[in-house]
A and B are shown apart, each in its own frame.
Chain A
Amino acid sequence: MGRVLIYRGAEADVSKGEWRGLEAAFKVRKPFAYRHPALDRMVRRQRTGREAEMLKSAKSAGVSAPYVYDVDTGASTLVMEFIEGRRLRELALSSTQGLFKMFEEMGEEVARLHGSGIVHGDLTTANVVRRAGRNVYLDFGLSMHTSKVEDHAVDLRLVKETLRGAHSAISGLAFGRLLAGYSSVAGESRAKRVASQLRNIERRGRYARVV
């Protein structure tokens, strides 16, 4: 069975194919012509290796993510379980029933990742796929191990930015439900600290301080 390109992302192409008899997704990080070759190799190798490692860590934290079948950092290729489902992004754009519950669950799951010292690093609605009534998380290429409030806040801020940018009509309510879910798992005091740090980041980012 040949491979069929199913997604052309900003940094990687994902194709669907077969790996030792299993239906699999092949994620290949492409060289960026605009990036200096030495820098480009370094970034692609690092992210491929990290993604494989973090997909496993996420599963250990009790969050659904694809199984990793094979890794080749030299060719910056990751072979993993193929996830059949619709992206949260599409569901949000078509205002599917039960949407806000999905965001609440997302909050719980992100809190579980953070509780295990993992930030996803790329929590856009395009990176969450709904399969059999559960959120499955993709694209851990920018994720890292950290328990800092600041890093956890940055992780949530991307969700907020994505919601405002791409789903502005539902963003307030959706993010509110997400925070509620987050708080129910992380605990109220931790959730409050992360939320207040998020506000700090927003304040300092919008217009640079004069240094």
Chain B
Amino acid sequence: MNRYVLGIESTAHTFSASVVSSHGEILSNAKSVYVAPKGSGIHPLEASRSHASSAASLLGVAIEESGIGVGKISAVSYSMGPGLGPCLRVGAVVARTLCSLLEKPLVPVNHAVGHIELGCLVTRSKDPVVLLVSGGHTMVISHSGGRWRVLGETLDLTLGQLLDQFGRHAGLASPCGGEIERAALRSTRYLGLPYVVKGNDVSFSGMLTAAETMLDAGKRFDDIAFSIQETAFAMVVEVTERALAFTGKKEVMVVGGVAANRRLSRMMSAMARRHSARLRGVPLEYSGDCGAQIAWTGYLAHSKGVEVPVNEATVSQSWRLDSVDTPWRS
């Protein structure tokens, strides 16, 4: 019998609710994205206010679009972490209220695991090496021994933060990735930037300083944007390649907000070809933060008995991806 799970995502700038079925159909995926004022970053409290005010109507949209009655929902899942405290708490409150009202079980989901599992669902990927690149994460991940394991990551800024902070330095509003991608297309002039790979880890803080200094010295924004993309993306593709060679796996998947960048996915696909691996492209709608990642992973976890009593359903701002057991994968 088909079962339905409602998932709620609210780790950072996106508040989203989605209904999925146990067959893996995504019946709805309603989103509202908080946009920070120009030149400034995401303010956790402001974002959480925006989430709180859009929560009720979004839930309505998610349930209506799914075409199933609210009574058919068999569990509610929410992103317990990692993320920004005030934002996470909005999602947790909404989820607790809803499952008390419906008298249905509550399932906590790790946001990063959610990105990966939804990516696997929509690309039919079985056992990929995953690059998770967003404002909150820059990690190379693969599954072994019952968990998703981190094989490499950033030592300081995430890739999303690098793009956003450089963009804001130039007066753009976060998220700046799209603007930087368009600027990069207008240039072919490579300016040397620090390329810092340490083992399987990367570091971007030196690149950010160098790029900001270039901009202040009057170099063209487009040229710097091009050079940041070329350098930073080559770094993350290189560490993904190392993980692929090391694990011997044959699928590569890129998820997270920065996965939307076409230059990054072209570089990744050239790399994958060299290793006769398949690049699993996650469609834009499902690569960034969304409720479907929480709903689907909530279904997977709940099918193996994972749930949490309402009075213990807190949030965990720095919940490690590699501390989550994944019984649905064994």
Interface residue? B280 (CB, 8 A): no
A162 partner residues in chain B, CB cutoff 8 A:
151, 200, 246
Give B126-170 interface residues, CB cut-off 8 Å to A.
135-138, 142, 144-147, 149-158, 161, 165
Contact bitstring B238-280, A, C-beta under 8 A = 1, else 0: 1001101111000000000000000000111011001000000
B135 partner residues in chain A, CB cutoff 8 A:
208
Contact bitstring A140-171, B, C-beta under 8 A = 1, else 0: 00100000000100110110011011101100
B81, B145, B157, B192: the one within 8 Å of A211 (CB)? B157
Cβ–Cβ contact B155 & A154, under 8 A: yes
B142 partner residues in chain A, CB cutoff 8 A:
165
Question: What is the CB-to-nearest-CB distance from B134 to chain A, in angstroms, rounded to a whole number?
Answer: 9
- From DSSP, what is the main secondary structure of chain B's interface residues? mixed
B120 partner residues in chain A, CB cutoff 8 A:
none
A35, A122, A168, A205: the one within 8 Å of B234 (CB)? A35
Interface residue? B105 (CB, 8 A): no
User: What bracket does the count of chain A residues touching chain B fall in?
Assistant: 35 or more
User: Which of B20-28, B71-79, B90-98, B314-322 lies at the interface?
Assistant: B314-322
Cβ–Cβ contact A208 & B234, under 8 A: no
Cβ–Cβ contact B318 & A210, under 8 A: no
User: Which of A37-45, A52-60, A69-77, A108-116 lies at the interface?
Assistant: A37-45
Contact bitstring A8-22, B, C-beta under 8 A = 1, else 0: 111100000000000
Cα distance A162–B151 in the bound complex, in angstroms: 7
Cβ–Cβ contact B82 & A207, under 8 A: yes
Cβ–Cβ contact A164 & B149, under 8 A: yes
Interface residue? B199 (CB, 8 A): yes
Cβ–Cβ contact A166 & B199, under 8 A: no
Cβ–Cβ contact A168 & B165, under 8 A: no
Interface residue? A176 (CB, 8 A): no
Cβ–Cβ contact A43 & B199, under 8 A: no
Cβ–Cβ contact B199 & A142, under 8 A: yes
Question: What is the CB-to-nearest-CB distance from B164 to chain A, in angstroms, rounded to a whole number?
Answer: 9
Cβ–Cβ contact A208 & B195, under 8 A: no
Cβ–Cβ contact B152 & A161, under 8 A: yes
Contacts known (A34-B267, A36-B190, A39-B234); A166 close to B247, Cβ less than 8 A: yes
Cβ–Cβ contact A121 & B199, under 8 A: yes
Interface residue? B201 (CB, 8 A): yes
Cβ–Cβ contact B270 & A207, under 8 A: no
Cβ–Cβ contact A165 & B271, under 8 A: no
Contact bitstring B182-202, A, C-beta under 8 A = 1, else 0: 000000001010010111110
Interface residues of B (CB under 8 A from A): 41-42, 44, 81-84, 135-138, 142, 144-147, 149-158, 161, 165, 190, 192, 195, 197-201, 230-231, 234, 237-238, 241-242, 244-247, 266-268, 270-271, 274, 317-322
14 A-B pairs whose Cβ atoms sit less than 8 Å apart in the complex = A10-B245, A34-B271, A36-B190, A38-B190, A126-B246, A142-B198, A157-B201, A158-B199, A207-B82, A208-B157, A208-B158, A208-B161, A211-B161, A211-B165
